[in-house]
Amino acid sequence: MTDQFAVEMRGVVKRFGDTVALNGVDLVVPPGAVYGLLGPNGAGKTTSVKVLTTLIRPDAGTACIDGIDVVAQPDEVRRRIGLTGQYAAVDERLTARENLVYVGRLFHLGTSESRKRAGDLLERFDLMEASDRVVKGFSGGMRRRLDIAMSLIANPSVLFLDEPTTGLDPRSRLGMWDVIEDLAADGTTVLLTTQYLEEADRLAERIVVIDHGHVIAEGTPDELQSRTGGALLQVSIARAENREVALSVLSPMCSGRVEVRDDRTFEAPIIAGDRVVPSVIRALDDAGVDVLDVVVRRPSLDDVFLALTGHAASTDEVES
Amino acid sequence: MNRVQRTLHDSFVEAERHLRVIPRNIELLIFATIQPIMFLALFAYVFGGSISIPGFDNYDQFLMPGIFSQSLVFGSAFTSIGLAEDLSKGLVDRLRSLPMSRSAVIIGRTVSDLVRNLLTFCVMLTAAFLLGFRFGGSTFDAAIATGLLVLFSYALSWVQALIGLAVSSVEAANSAGFIWMFPLTFVSSAFVDPSTMPKWLEVVANANPFTVVTNAARALYNGLPVGNDAWISLLWSVGLIAVFSMIATRKFSRSTSS
């Protein structure tokens, strides 16, 4: 079957008591793709990952990995997945190498094969120097790298990364992004969850936006950004009495309504990449308006989230 | 690999993980060794002179099997703490996403705690001998006595496993795992003859499985007639393992870190 999805969720519902964590989630990831599941805390990201990795059973709907149902054949699914959760799931009393061999043996790879793969992974994740040190003294970034290496020991068809950079310092976060980009380049199918819009933008080829247990949008980062009407143009003029003239010049050039911030500052959506800035400056100049400043701001995914949901991406709901 | 092979293999891997790190935590090892020796010495010297037990001309011969018994039972608390630790660190989520046997995680944990308890027991037995304790019966009887004690401690490890999985933190596991050990081991025949207790307490003490196990081991260590206590304590242990292994394994399959 050529059109088999690596990950497939259809109408998945999960309730915890009165709380509906997933309210009919549909999601497909083709093999080899890196998908980002984006949403605020409590949106249902972690719950989706837990359903797909057989940690919890859905109340309704179906979820499959490589076409294998997670409820009907959990062990077959477990053989094909790697999971890196929100907490670095390592045994900190063991060394990095021991952690890897340990998980390899629990995948029933045999001790010698586990050792061989452990060596390869330590090399690949830049942990060779620390390989025989106890994990307790590792930095957050090293733990996460080890954690991902442990998830990869059985060559999974799908790797789940649940908020892989939460709690990391900025430098470790950049390092982790490099690791994930390398995985993507190797053709590993990755489903990562994140509440960092920048992270999804950088790593994922497609983003699935989830909110209150629903998928509310899906597309490439560019497609999602264009939903807010592209980029935002900000123009400041020198004299307030030119306000009406400037407004009449700008209006036909922009893709949406021109907002007047104060008497001398205007904001309007434009189609990004239209080389609109030189034309705006020229037109205003021709109309005799003195321009102080012109800025084009590409929308952040925060803007996208606001446009899609009507509320900001950061809520203080707690994910169950 | 069939189901049974897989469970054995995975349990072995899990037990090895815990045993491998025992020598790495020297402090824990030292304190785990000192504690039973301290108990032996304290009870023997503090109470030894003032307590006399009918049928025993030497209180030490009565007391020491009771302390063996108590120390082994206390040792089972490691199980709840260890499982709670794996749970709180998210390791359990990883394990539950692996194609491994569900029960192996707890079997491996309880078996490694059993080995650790046996090590402590050997130290304690040596100390007891240095303090004057002697087997009154055959070495075979003493081995049976030790087996009964260790098996009971192993059975309680499964109770502790359920506690470790049920509580929400390592600290809670520490308290919840230990608190019931005190009435269990003191309202018993471990240190005194229950007939000296208030009537209602004596009834409780005599019904306590810990009393049955301690009495059986004490009789065997001293070469006295053991009666039915050996069989009854064996039944208690097997029964506890059967019931709690089922409940704890089911609980494990459902528990996640958050």
> Same domain, yes or no, for A249 and A120?
no
What per-residue confidence (pLDDT) applies to A13?
A: 95
If one compares A304 and B38, the residue with the highest pLDDT of the two is B38
My answer on whether A38 and A110 are in the same domain is: yes
Region A284-289 average pLDDT: 89
- Name the token pair of B69: 């018994």
pLDDT band, residue B1 (cuts 50/70/90)? confident
Mean pLDDT of B233-242: 96
B46-72 mean pLDDT:
85
The mean pLDDT value for B92-99 works out to: 89
Q: What is the span of the domain harbouring residue A206?
A: 7-222
Does A98 contact B20 at a Cβ distance shorter than 8 Å?
yes
Residue A3's pLDDT is 65
Q: Which two tokens stand for residue B97?
A: 């996403």
Residues A238 and A217 in one domain: no
How much is the mean pLDDT over chain B? Answer: 90
Tell me the ipTM for this assembly.
0.86
User: Which of A222, A247, A266 corresponds to the end of one domain?
Assistant: A222
What residues have CB less than 8 Å from B117, skipping those under 6 apart?
B72, B75, B76, B78, B150, B153
What residues of A are in contact with residue B97 (Cβ under 8 Å)?
Answer: 53-55, 78, 81, 83
Domain ranges, residue B29: 3-254
What mean pLDDT do residues A267-279 have?
76
| B25 contacts on A by Cβ (under 8 Å) | 93
Q: What is the CATH classification number for the domain harbouring A233?
A: 3.30.70.1150
Contacts of B99 in chain A (CB under 8 A): 75, 78-79, 106-108
- pLDDT confidence of residue B238: 97
Q: pLDDT of A252-267, one tens digit each? A: 888 778 888 888 888 8
Closest residue to B13, CB basis, from A53, A88, A102: A102
Total number of domains in chain A: 2
How does pLDDT run across A190-234, given as a tens digit for each residue?
999 998 888 888 899 999 999 889 898 899 888 887 776 567 888
**B99 at interface of A, judged by CB pairs closer than 8 A:** yes
Alpha-carbon gap, residue B150 to B140, rounded angstroms: 15
Q: Does residue A2 lie in a domain region?
A: no
- What's the pLDDT tens digit per position in A19-57? 999 999 999 999 999 999 998 888 899 999 999 999 999
CB contact (8 A) between residue B258 and residue A320 = yes
Contact B91 A90 (CB under 8 A): yes
> Residues A167, A253: one domain?
no
Mean pLDDT of A279-294: 88
The answer on A245 and A189 residing in a single domain is: no
- Decide if B3 touches A, using CB distance below 8 A: no
B90 and A319 within 8 Å at the Cβ level: the answer is: no
**Of B1, B17, B256, Cβ closest to residue A91:** B17
Instruction: Let me know whether A93 and A187 are in one domain.
Output: yes
C-alpha span between B117 and B112 (Å, rounded): 9
Give the pair of three-digit tokens for residue B256.
């996640």
pLDDT above 60: residue A317: no
Asked whether residue A78 falls in the same domain as residue A149, the answer is yes
The total number of structural domains that make up chain B: 1
Say whether both A163 and A277 belong to one domain: no
Inside any domain, residue A319: no
Q: B256 pLDDT band (50/70/90 cuts)? A: low
Q: What is the dihedral of CA B33, B35, B41, B42, to 10 degrees?
A: 180
Q: Does B90 touch chain A (CB under 8 A)?
A: yes
Whole-number pLDDT of residue A314: 52
CB atoms under 10 Å from CB of B20, counted, come to 16
CATH number of the CATH domain containing A157: 3.40.50.300
Residues A75 and A215 in one domain: yes
Query: pTM of whole model > 0.90?
Result: no
Are B61 and B133 in contact by the 8 Å Cβ rule? The answer is yes
Q: At what angle do helices B77-88 and B59-75 cross, to 10 degrees?
A: 10
